[in-house]
Amino acid sequence: MAHHTFASDNYAGAHPEVLAALAAANTGHARAYGADQWTEQLQDVVKTHFGEWAHAYPVFNGTGANVVALTSMLPRWGAVVTSRFAHINNDENGAPERVGGMKLLTVETPDGKLTPAAIDEHAWGWGDQHRAQPLVVSISQSTELGTVYTPDEIRAIADHTHSLGMRLHMDGARLANAAAHLGVPLAAITTDAGVDVLSFGGTKNGLVFGEAVIVLDPEAVQGVDYVRKMTMQLASKMRFISAQLLALLDDELWLRSASHANAMASRLRSGLEDLISAGQAPGLAFTQETQANAIFAVVPAHAVDGLREQFGFYDWNAARGEVRWMCSFDTSEGDVDAFVAGVRTALAPRGA
């Protein structure tokens, strides 16, 4: 499949600046397992974004980041309160449960966002030996449904979580898209909003591979180094992950790429909204707000297979004809406009 798709931001290739950084790091010998100069420099850059206590643990992938983060935050009897739509619940093949040994306690979140009241559905029973102990809350920013928490919403969740003696984890596989949407620095929706431990995403924003567990409050974790190795997320040639993360974080590439992906998603949404207003897209409707780089919509059954074949995207909920269209750093205006034109043709009222 050579052409552009709307399937996922991880269908995209790597950003040329990231590849250049990888090539530049390919020089001579460097100390292994994170004792290299790129990983050292990454720690300084991470502090400029996330504050003086922040420490990054580069890992290979997002599932690994979540498993390392959550395992380090919990005792063996711990449980995590999260959304039913959370990636840790739906898309990690039980890795948090099997590899980390924790229990996930999920709640319904129509727009993907937890609230203090939703957390309370499961935040109880401490001291009861019959109940897995809810000690961590995990939220995704942006969410799996393309929505974005405001800094105040995160602060309210963090305050509530902490008042219960629990800790707050954020799955930031698309943190950059959320910050770009809100127009705020990364710290405003993490460190300054009360997040304790972050899974910071790189792959969806133009890395070949690589994410990082970023510990924002050292008291929220235990033994991250050991857990990372034990869960097979410790890279021996770590310089190649750190060099990519540096390329993303050192020169605002994270912001440029995420802003572009978001802008393409809003172009797509408004192009389709124009079709709807002109009566040119009967049966097309949106199911979520478009705040980051994802669009969720229902498409009439007669058109969805053809569109999927032509442009490439995933069904989200096939039973209700709901699909997901994702934009990435390399989506062009031409890609978006061709897709809008394709939708118009596929949905054109008969005789029009």
Residues near ligand PLP (CB under 6 A) are 61-63, 87, 91, 140, 144, 171, 173, 203
Smallest separation (angstroms) from ligand PLP to the CB of 256: 21
As measured in angstroms, the least distance from the Cβ of 208 to ligand PLP is 12
CB of residue 346 vs ligand PLP: minimum separation in angstroms? Answer: 27
φ, ψ dihedrals at 29, nearest 5° = -90, 150
**Cα–Cα nearest to 325, from 299, 346, 352:** 299
- Whichever of 177 and 191 has its CB closer to ligand PLP, that residue is 177
Between CA 156 and CA 217 the distance in angstroms is 18
Nearest-CB residue for ligand PLP: 62
Task: Report how far apart, in Å, the C-alpha atoms of 101 and of each of 67, 70, 75, 309, 348 are.
Answer: 10, 10, 9, 40, 51
Q: How far is the CB of 73 from ligand PLP (least distance, A)?
A: 16
Report the residue number, 176 or 343, with the smaller CB distance to ligand PLP: 176
For 294, the token pair is 């994802």
Hey, what's the torsion of the CAs at 246, 251, 257, 262, to 10 degrees? 110
- Report how far residue 28's alpha carbon sits from residue 25's, in angstroms, rounded to the nearest whole number: 9
Closest C-alpha to 149, from 108, 119, 181: 181
Counting other chains too, the contacts that 314-322 makes at CB distance below 8 Å and 24 or more residues apart are: 314/7, 314/8, 322/287, 322/296, 322/297, 322/298
Q: Which is nearer to ligand PLP, 164 or 175 (CB)?
A: 175
Find the shortest distance in angstroms from Cβ 190 to ligand PLP: 15
Parallel, antiparallel or unpaired: strands 78-83 and 294-298: unpaired
Nearer Cβ to ligand PLP (204/344): 204
What CA–CA distance (Å, rounded) separates 153 from 350?
46
Closer CB to ligand PLP, residue 173 or residue 245?
A: 173
Give me the least distance between CB of 25 and ligand PLP, in Å please.
Answer: 21
Whose Cβ is closer to ligand PLP: residue 136's or residue 173's? 173
Q: What is the DSSP letter of 349?
A: P
CB-nearer residue toward ligand PLP: 59 or 135? 59
- Judged by CB, which is closer to ligand PLP: 88, or 340? 88
Task: Provide the minimum distance between the beta carbon of 172 and ligand PLP in the complex, in angstroms, as a whole number.
Answer: 8
**Minimum distance between the CB of residue 31 and ligand PLP, rounded to whole angstroms?**
26
- Give the tokens for residue 318: 């096939």
Q: Which residues pair with 199 in a beta bridge?
A: 171, 213
How far is it, in rounded angstroms, from Cα 293 to Cα 97?
29
